[in-house]
């Protein structure tokens, strides 16, 4: 029986489906862990998380087992044992689990008991639930190993305590949400420590995977609830923790306590990390986007420059006859401040050609939103042509307020491969634009100092598709609209409940109607990083054909 343990926490990124690459990375980090007795990796680190229906392919599960066996064999060298998350096939059932690899073999396997089935998670559709897990014996120490949701709820940890666990090691794939890092520590896992009287290690991954982004923010709590370690957010990190057994049980020696980002810095960093990993993992040389002179495209360009470096960002101004000189100036100034390339391609020739092409068909119809949408679709077509020719991924720039009410043109400004602002309401766009002009994330690749001209932030938003157009012509002012939308979307309130908050009934009824009508557009929209609790994607799955209206 040992009275000392050195446990390394490997807060890592991953690549879904890259089984050999993920295994090789774990072995590299094992070498870095040096004298550790045990190195711990996040949930499903071997296969990448979430692998979704990839795990249902028999060949995928078989290759995961092969790589796990190779990792186990590597521990025959006498170096650190490994606690590795993967998938396991047992008696025909598929499990989300972890394996303790030690002495050249798979020493123990435990399966996840609590399968989350809400928001972004649908594990009950994919995995079988394991039994309440027993502790794992390691060097004479009984380790409890709750896997992600197992630690978010009480039963597994309490069972492990009853079965003799001496400390808890919780491996996680916990996606970022606003204020979630503090909630994990102060509410959820602090509760597990109070309930069991055991110290606890919480290990999370970092990096982006499609709509999800993982913020790390791992930590260690001693049995008295005191924080012994806090790992940085957003960055890969290896932390050695030193444990000793006393009369009162196991205790972790005090270590560094990183400061985690506060709001709205965390939102901006989530956008940067999500975009960076999406572009780099899918091997795009860079991004291209339409630069309108408005705040949404300016912020997207700034995010892209911080994620990829200014030299990989290509902005294109696509003016029509309604584009103001002010917008042309603002777009050019913003690109110069960011340090990225900007080109100008006027769309007037194409607009005139479409007017001529459709003149007979439209002869008995008044000019309306159709002509506005044609302009947007010409811009989308032009940008997609540049993307096809040069390989840059096209960014879309619509915010959540617009996407909620359908104020985005399908096959126009919605065309593209990824949208950093997809889950950011318009007022959030304003807030983080102002923040970025005075700050920069520590890992950002863009320029220091302001990157968005003040005029872009302060001028009234406009699509500039007709003379003197402003968003407020047909929508409530954004401070009002966003509060309505937050109540309708994030809080799932009815029209009556939103009206009771002090809003006009006719306005709320109209916004709810627009919200439901736009579902077909959102179903065809590109992915974008999840920020809140109800993003338009994995969190919120509404039918396109839907006659329900809570306002009657």
Compute, in degrees rounded to 10, the torsion defined by CA atoms 515, 517, 521, 527. 30
Which of the following is catalytic: 112, 400, 426, 440? Answer: 112
Is the confidence at residue 465, as pLDDT, over 70?
Answer: no
pLDDT in tens, 115-157: 988 777 888 899 999 999 999 999 999 999 999 999 999 999 9
Our answer to whether residue 148 is catalytic in this structure is yes
Residues 125 and 145: their CA atoms lie apart, in Å, by 23
Which of the following is catalytic: 148, 300, 315, 340? Answer: 148
* Beta-strand pair 38-40/4-11: parallel
Assigned CATH class of 4-252: alpha beta
Is the confidence at residue 472, as pLDDT, over 70?
Answer: no
Instruction: Write down the mean pLDDT value for the chain.
Output: 93
Is the confidence at residue 37, as pLDDT, over 90?
Answer: yes
Answer whether 242's CB lies under 8 Å from 190's CB: no
Residue 471: pLDDT band (50, 70, 90) is low
Which of the following is catalytic: 43, 177, 372, 402? Answer: 43
Residues 457 and 397: their CA atoms lie apart, in Å, by 15
C-alpha closest to that of 5 among 119, 153, 169, 150: 169
* Beta-strand pair 341-344/313-317: parallel
Our answer to whether residue 166 is catalytic in this structure is no
Q: In what order do the strands lie in the sheet with 313-317?
A: 341-344, 313-317, 287-290, 393-394
C-alpha closest to that of 403 among 378, 372, 428: 428
Element (H, E) at 284: none
Residues 330 and 282: their CA atoms lie apart, in Å, by 32
Our answer to whether residue 315 is catalytic in this structure is no
Residue 261: pLDDT band (50, 70, 90) is very high
pLDDT in tens, 237-255: 999 999 999 888 999 999 9
What percent of the chain shows pLDDT beyond 90?
Answer: 80
Q: In the chain, where are the structural domains located? A: 4-252, 265-523
Q: Which superfamily, per CATH, for 265-523?
A: HUPs (3.40.50.620)
pLDDT in tens, 262-284: 989 999 999 999 999 999 999 99
pLDDT of residue 179: 85
């Amino acid at each position: 029986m040992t009275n000392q343990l050195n446990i390394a926490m490997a807060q890592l990124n991953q690549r879904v489906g890259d089984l050999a690459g993920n295994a090789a990375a774990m072995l590299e980090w094992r070498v870095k862990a040096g004298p550790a007795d045990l190195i711990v990796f996040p949930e499903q680190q071997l296969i990448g998380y979430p692998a979704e229906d990839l795990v249902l392919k028999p060949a995928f599960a078989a290759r995961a087992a092969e790589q796990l066996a190779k990792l186990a064999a590597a521990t025959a060298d006498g170096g650190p044992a490994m606690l590795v998350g993967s998938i396991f096939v047992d008696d025909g059932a598929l499990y989300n689990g972890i394996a303790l690899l030690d002495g050249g073999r798979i020493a123990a396997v435990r399966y996840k008991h609590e399968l989350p089935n809400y928001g972004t998670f649908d594990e009950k559709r994919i995995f079988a639930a394991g039994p309440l897990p027993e502790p794992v014996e390691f060097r004479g120490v009984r380790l409890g190993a709750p896997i992600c949701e197992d630690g978010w709820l009480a039963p597994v940890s309490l069972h492990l305590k009853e079965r003799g666990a001496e400390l808890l090691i919780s491996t996680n794939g916990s996606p970022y949400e606003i204020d979630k890092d503090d909630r994990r520590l102060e509410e959820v896992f602090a509760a597990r420590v109070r309930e069991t009287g055991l110290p606890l290690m919480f290990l999370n991954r970092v990096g982006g995977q499609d709509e999800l982004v993982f913020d790390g923010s791992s930590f260690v709590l001693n049995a008295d609830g005191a924080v012994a370690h806090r790992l940085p957010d957003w960055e890969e990190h290896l932390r050695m923790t030193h444990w000793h057994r006393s009369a009162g049980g196991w205790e972790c020696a005090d270590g560094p306590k990183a400061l985690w980002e506060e709001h709205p810095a965390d939102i901006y960093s989530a956008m940067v990390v999500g975009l960076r990993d999406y572009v780099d993992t899918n091997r795009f040389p860079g991004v291209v986007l339409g630069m309108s002179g408005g705040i949404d495209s300016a912020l997207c360009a700034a995010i892209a420059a911080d994620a990829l470096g200014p030299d990989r960002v290509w902005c294109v101004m696509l003016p029509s006859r309604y584009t103001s000189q002010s917008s042309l100036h603002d777009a050019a100034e913003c690109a110069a401040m960011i340090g990225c390339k900007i080109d100008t391609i006027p769309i007037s020739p194409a607009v005139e050609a479409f007017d001529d092409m459709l003149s007979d068909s439209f002869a008995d119809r008044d000019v309306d939103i159709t002509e506005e949408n044609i302009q947007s679709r010409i811009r989308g077509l032009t940008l997609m042509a540049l993307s096809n020719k040069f390989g840059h991924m096209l960014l879309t720039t619509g915010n959540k307020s617009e996407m909620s009410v359908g104020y985005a043109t399908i096959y126009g400004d919605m065309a593209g491969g990824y949208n950093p602002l997809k889950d950011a309401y318009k007022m959030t766009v304003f807030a983080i634009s102002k923040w970025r002009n005075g700050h920069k994330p520590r890992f950002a690749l863009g320029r220091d100092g302001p990157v968005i001209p003040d005029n872009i932030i302060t001028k009234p938003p406009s699509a500039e598709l007709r003379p003197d157009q402003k968003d407020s012509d047909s929508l409530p002012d954004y401070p009002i609209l966003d509060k309505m939308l937050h109540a309708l979307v994030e809080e799932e309130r009815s029209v009556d409940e939103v009206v009771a908050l002090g809003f006009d009934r006719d306005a709320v009824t109209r916004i709810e109607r627009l919200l439901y009508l736009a579902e077909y557009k959102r179903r065809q929209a590109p992915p974008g990083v999840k920020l809140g609790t109800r993003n338009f994607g994995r969190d919120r799955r509404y039918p396109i054909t839907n006659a329900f209206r809570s306002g009657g």
